[in-house]
Amino acid sequence: MDSFLIKGGVPLHGEVEISGAKNAVLPIMAATLLTNEPCVIRRVPNLSDVRFMAQILEWLGAKVKVDGDTVHVHAKKIKGHADYDLVRKMRGSICIMGPLLGRLNKATVSLPGGCVIGARPINLHLKAFEALGAKIRIESGYVEASAKRLVGGPMFLGGRAGSTVLGTANAMMAAVLANGVTTIESAACEPEVVDVANFLIAMGAKIQGAGGPTVTITGVKALHGAEHNVIPDRIEAATFAIAAAMTNGQITIKGARADHLHAVIDKLQEAGVVVDHRGSDMIVRRGTKLKPSDVTTLPYPGFPTDVQAQMMALMTMSPGISIITERIFESRFMHVSELTRLGADIQIEGPSAIVKGGKPLSGAPVMASDLRASAALVIAGLAAKGTTQVNRVYHLDRGYEQMDVKLRKLGARIQRIEES
């Protein structure tokens, strides 16, 4: 398994281009299964999750061609049964179920895998399919859904931790070819959901209200091919912004969507970070001094859970006591023990982490447990004195396109150690 070797203490300076959003591109790729005509998706990041999704589409019968950051998909003839070993590797692969059900009125998909960050059930996905008239059966590690014909209707997708992003996308993709009108209440409002809806609309779907809590879909008889540019990855942009502050550097984050990052920018400014805007770019640097802050993760437009670990890394450098409360996933503090290896003082109290910051971090070997924990450990290593080795960076490769390459261009002393 590959690892990163980081020699910290170097302020980051320069420009970084933000890649397309992982959490948008996966369901958008899945949505190409809804039509037998060719689709073109641009600004696609080169990620292991994207490669897995391409393999799944090919296994289902689609022709997939990758040309740089452009992906061509032609799902002229497909089957409704996905390969077990492919799907179980990635939680995002469950989003093929809605398109398969919408187009073929049947779908058989294995229970998905992904990061181990607490319970991430798919019950709301299945609830949406049942609301459209599908019958659900779970057997031998597979989920089977079938219907003579999907019929639109009302559904409520609010869960214990709020709305479901992937579940909302799955429900929209299943409903666009259903008979009648579907109304999704408590729909996820994330920009990635809006991006999926925009792609479906470009294919001929009739969707209103995406980005709000109520989404209305009027079914159509068929969808056609379309072209689409994926939105920039707001989580990657936030990660580089925090890296600039932690290393006391200055980074111009090109192509970032500040309108997708209001909660993050607000908390960074509260923590003493300066964020300026120049068109679609953000210029981020540390202010005169870092300050303690109080952060609670919430569904969009609240502070994203996917930036919680990175923000905690910044808190370790802020003199005073900071508190971060996780309201989305109950097991998303697995990076705490690794940050303490670097010298952080963090105590867990229920859903909250109490961070006593201001002590310098020092390099040490650490182990990544999930995608965003990996990013937090990398940026902590960039700020720490000495050498940090972040092991198991395959987690990082799932959601950050060539992070080590981008960091080196900013002046970081980081190298990938490849292991067979």
- 115 belongs to the catalytic site: yes
Q: In what order do the strands lie in the sheet with 70-74?
A: 63-67, 70-74, 38-42, 227-229
Burial zone of 381 (CB within 10 Å; 0-12 exposed, 13-18 middle, 19+ buried): buried
**Measured between alpha carbons, how far is 62 from 183 in angstroms, rounded to an integer?**
30
Residues β-bridged to residue 274 = 285
- The answer to whether 98 and 68 have CB atoms below 8 angstroms apart is no
One-character DSSP codes across 56-109: HHHHTT-EEEEETTEEEEE-SS--SB--HHHHTT-GGGGGGHHHHHHHHSEEEE
**Measured between alpha carbons, how far is 228 from 207 in angstroms, rounded to an integer?**
16
Out of 39, 95, 115, 189, pick the active-site residue.
Answer: 115
Tell me how far apart the 2 most distant CA atoms of the chain are, in Å.
64
Tokens encoding 169: 């996308």
Q: Quick count: other Cβ atoms within 10 Å of Cβ 352? A: 17
**Measured between alpha carbons, how far is 278 from 253 in angstroms, rounded to an integer?**
10
State the residue for tokens 């899945």: 30
Which amino acid makes up residue 190?
A: E
- The answer to whether 182 and 132 have CB atoms below 8 angstroms apart is yes
Radius of gyration of the chain (CA): 21
Residues serving a catalytic function are 115
